[in-house]
Amino acid sequence: MIACTDFIPAYSELFKFLEKQGGKAKVVEFWNYLSDNFLGNLRDLAAKHGLRGCWMYWSRTLNEEAADFTMELDEELGELQFQMHKCPSKGRLLEFRHIEPYPDYCEHCDVLYRRVLEPLGLDYRIDLSHCDEARCTGVIRRKKQ
Amino acid sequence: MAKEIMQRKASDNVYLHKDFHGALSNGIQFVHDTYGAEAVRQYLRQFVAAFYAPLKAEIKRRGLAALKDHFEKMYRAEGGVIHITCSDDELRLEVEACPAVMHMRQHGYKIAELFYETTKTVNEALCDGTPFAAELIQYDDANGHSIQRFYRRKQS
């Protein structure tokens, strides 16, 4: 067994392995595959509860991942904002001195979640411009009818 | 309706997100489907060589006691029940039920056909370049129950 606490480096090494085998396109193909096959929980919650479903999903996962974050839900405005002050995944990868993170590691968060949420009428935007410091911000909005 | 805010520090929670086992299982299935079984083993060997380099160095320095500490810590964190016997030349580990497999079964995640390689190949790769070898004596796909053995290689 690989400990779930060792998953993030395993994930990063998987991206490197796939890129070596089939280029960046193969990595993105895997992210699409993972989104379709693994994120059923988020898909079900968002389909049933909309933005609140997203809130429910990340309330659990970000706490289990011991993330340093702020999340704000404004249902009247139709918006869920998040600020990741220190991403537990990227933060870990940057802390390990003996492994090199996959350079585009954080992009998976854009591909995986957008693919789930946008078909459900939710606009998903993430700013990864500070991901080298394990920080990012994002917003999910109900699309206008 | 009032705005809801959730604010957390990393120190507010324990880092233990078992759903990651499901993501790894999907990764293994994808590599298997795309590049075949040997590619799964190749990927896992690459991961072990890179990430577990410090553990492998410990195994060379301290022998099987380093592996014993690694397994005890890992299974304790994930709530797995294990039985270990360890001497200078042999370590035998019995896992009553693999926490990863049990979590995936409980939450309906598909378990990759080659998920057992996260035990078999990972153990073998941990021993590469050390005086030890590994064998997976028993593995039950249903709950991940396993008997794993590490032993000192015979000198030629």
> A43 in helix, strand or coil?
helix
As a whole number, the mean pLDDT across chain B is: 96
CB contact under 8 Å between A11 and B10, yes or no, is no
Query: What pLDDT does residue A77 have?
Result: 95
**Is pLDDT at B155 greater than 90 in this prediction?**
no
Give A13: exposed, middle or buried? Use CB within 10 Å, 0-12, 13-18, 19+: buried
pTM of the model: 0.95
Q: Which amino acid is at B15?
A: Y
Task: Find, among B49, B4, B26, the residue nearest to B112 by Cα.
Answer: B26
Is there a contact between B80 and B72 (Cβ–Cβ < 8 Å)? no
The end-to-end CA distance of chain A, in Å, is: 47
Give A65: exposed, middle or buried? Use CB within 10 Å, 0-12, 13-18, 19+: buried
Identify the closest residue of chain A to B70 by CA–CA distance. A3
Distance CA A101, CA A94 (A): 7
pLDDT one-digit tens code per residue, B42-52: 999 999 999 99
pLDDT tier at B2, thresholds 50, 70, 90 = confident
Task: Find, among B75, B78, B64, the residue nearest to B126 by Cα.
Answer: B64
- Give the pLDDT mean for B82-89: 98
CB contact under 8 Å between A66 and B5, yes or no, is no
Residues 6+ apart with CB under 8 A from A13: A99, A102, B43, B46, B47, B50, B51
- Give the pLDDT mean for B8-31: 95
Identify the closest residue of chain A to B79 by CA–CA distance. A3
- Residue B5 has its nearest CB partner, among A37, A64, A70, at A70
- Residue B122 has its nearest CB partner, among A2, A67, A76, at A2
pLDDT tier at B156, thresholds 50, 70, 90 = low
Which sequence spans correspond to the domains of chain A? 4-142
- Residue A9 has its nearest CB partner, among B3, B8, B51, at B51
Distance CA A98, CA A113 (A): 30
Is there a contact between A66 and B12 (Cβ–Cβ < 8 Å)? yes
DSSP code, position B96: S
Q: A77-116 in b/e burial notation, b at 16+ Cβ within 10 A? A: eebbbbbbbbbbbbbbbbeeeebebbeebbbbbbebbbbb
Q: Which domains does chain B have, with CATH numbers?
A: 18-152 (3.30.1380)
Q: How many CB pairs under 8 A join A and B?
A: 143
| Residuewise pLDDT in 10s, chain A (145 residues) | 999 999 999 999 999 999 999 999 999 999 999 999 999 999 999 999 999 999 999 999 999 999 999 999 999 999 999 999 999 999 999 999 999 999 999 999 999 999 999 999 999 999 999 999 999 999 999 997 6
Q: What are the helix (H) ranges across chain A?
A: 7-38, 40-49, 51-64, 88-95, 107-117
Distance from CA of A120 to the nearest CA of B (A): 22
Q: Which chain A residues are closer than 8 Å to B13 by Cβ?
A: 63-66
| Least confident window among A126-130, B14-18, B21-25, B137-141 | B14-18
Query: What pLDDT does residue B7 have?
Result: 96
Q: Which chain A residues are closer than 8 Å to B78 by Cβ?
A: 1, 3-4
- Residue B24 has its nearest CB partner, among A2, A74, A75, at A2
∠ CA B39-B45-B51 to the nearest 5 degrees? 130
Is there a contact between A58 and A42 (Cβ–Cβ < 8 Å)? no
Q: Which chain A residues are closer than 8 Å to B34 by Cβ?
A: 21-22, 26
Domain at A4-142, CATH class: alpha beta
- Residue B8 has its nearest CB partner, among A9, A22, A63, at A63
Distance CA A113, CA A74 (A): 19
Identify the closest residue of chain B to A2 by CA–CA distance. B118
pLDDT tier at B36, thresholds 50, 70, 90 = very high
- Asked if this assembly's ipTM is beyond 0.90, the reply is yes
